[in-house]
Amino acid sequence: MLRLIARRFGLMMLIMFVVTLLLFLANEADPLRVARSVLGPYAQPEQLDLWIQQNGYDRSLAIRYLDWIGRLLVGDLGQSVIYKRPVGEIFWTRLANTGILAGITFVIMVLLALVLGVLAGMAEGSPRDRFISVLSIATTSVPEYASAVILMAIFVFWLGWLPGTSSMMAGFSWIEMVLPVSVLVLYGFGYIARMTRASMAEVMTTHYIRTAVLKGLPYKHIILKHALRNALIAPFTVIMLQINWLLSGVVVTEYAFGYKGFGALLLEAALRRDIYVIEACGVAAVFVAVFTQTLGDLGYTYLNPRIRFK
């Protein structure tokens, strides 16, 4: 198992190397373009040349890449063009904000999806199963921007129970988290619930469940000890994929509620060509993606001993 973990992390490093290289090439291959995007469209050629020399952009590509990686590793993310401040100052708070939103959403969404999925799959074809299935399809098929508007219309404008924005102007506030989390959970849980349901329903028809029933085990015991673990194998991969979406795919929700998160930061940076911010966000997004996949693979081998390596 230790060797498997070592191998998986080795592979992860390799992927990170390739991706950072691609990211670097896409953004910084041409020093002139970098200078132009930092100094703006009205900078003179002499100014650009001077900037290139001052910032070491006249060195070879390989040296510049290694230099960039080195600075990334010690936490120096460069200077933001828009904010005229070190990227680190903005980036980490934004990442943390999204982390909080994603974390809360993830816990609620996964728990809800698994419970509903298992409840539906346990009794395939029952009214309970039908209700849960229809509910999860319905909520998943409403996009976030639509559900954000609908929820706002109900809870903000009509009932007036909740604030309409989540900008956290006066520090962190739970009440401002309710709407963004609800929108994300509504959109995201259906998919996992459907996967869990299908997987659970399949497991319930297997011979080893029959064995467990005919061993005389209580129903609760059969579900919890025999069915659940096998039923979780398929949805587990999907759940790990959802973490990606929670980091960078939540930009619509963040925008809708004015939440100062990572997605919003990346979008702004991309629109205004703030290359150091783009790079930092890109590396972070890829790291999370690769890391969750590695965790996913490890968890998968834990859940499914048949593919466990010797």
Partner 1 sequence: MPDDIRPDTDVPVLEIEDLRLSYYTRAGEIPAVMDFSLKVNAGESVGLVGESGCGKSTVANGIMRYMGKNGGIVGGTIKFKGRDMAEMSDEEVRRLRGAEIAMIYQEPMAALNPSMTIADQLTEVLTEHEGIGRQEAAERAAEMLDAVHIPDPRRLMDSYPHQISGGQQQRVVIAMALLSRPSLLLLDEPTTALDVTVEAGIVELIAELSEKTGASLLYISHNLGLMLEVCDRICVMYSGEVVEQGSIDSIFSWPKHPYTHGLFGCIPLPHADKNARPLAAIRGQLPLPHQRPKGCYFGPRCDFFVQEKCGQQQIPMEEVTTDNDPVHRVRCARWNEVDTSTAMIAGEAREPAPVGEVVLEVDNMKKYYEVKDSSFGAMLSGQSMRYVKANETINFRARRSETIGIVGESGCGKSTFAKVLMGLETATDGEVRLNHVNIGAIPVRSRTADQLSSLQMVFQNPNDTLNPSHTIGGQIGRVIKHFGIEKDPAKIHERVMNLLDTVKLPRAFAERKPRQLSGGQKQRVGIARAFAGNPSTVIADEPISALDVSVAAAVTELLMDIQREHETTLLFISHDLSAVRYLADRIVVMYLGQIMERGTTDEVFAPPYHPYTEALLSAVPIADPEIEKRRIVLEGNLPSVLDPPAGCPFCTRCPRVLGDICENERPPVQIDGEGHAIACHIPLDELRQVEPVLKVPNELEKKRSLMLKQARAKKAAAEAAAAEAAAASARARAAAAEAALADELVADADAAIKQDQT
Burial class (CB in 10 A: 0-12, 13-18, 19+), 277: buried
Residue 221 phi/psi, 5-degree rounding, is: -60, -40
Residues in contact with partner 1 by CB under 8 A are 125, 206-208, 210-218, 221, 225-226, 229-230, 233, 303-306
- Least distance in Å: CB of 207 to partner 1? 4
Nearer of residues 75 and 218 to partner 1, judged by Cβ = 218
Nearer of residues 27 and 199 to partner 1, judged by Cβ = 199
Nearer of residues 212 and 252 to partner 1, judged by Cβ = 212
**Burial readout 35-65 (b: 16 or more C-beta within 10 A, e: otherwise):** bebbeeeeeeeeebeebbeebebeeeeeebb
- Least distance in Å: CB of 223 to partner 1? 13
- Least distance in Å: CB of 39 to partner 1? 53
- Least distance in Å: CB of 191 to partner 1? 24
79 DSSP assignment: B
Nearer of residues 45 and 305 to partner 1, judged by Cβ = 305
How many other CB atoms sit within 10 Å of the CB of residue 88? 16
Nearer of residues 214 and 271 to partner 1, judged by Cβ = 214
List, as one string, the DSSP characters of 203-246: HHTSHHHHHHHHTT--HHHIIIIIIHHHHHHHHHHHHHHHHHHH
- Least distance in Å: CB of 292 to partner 1? 22
Cβ(254)–Cβ(267) under 8 Å? no
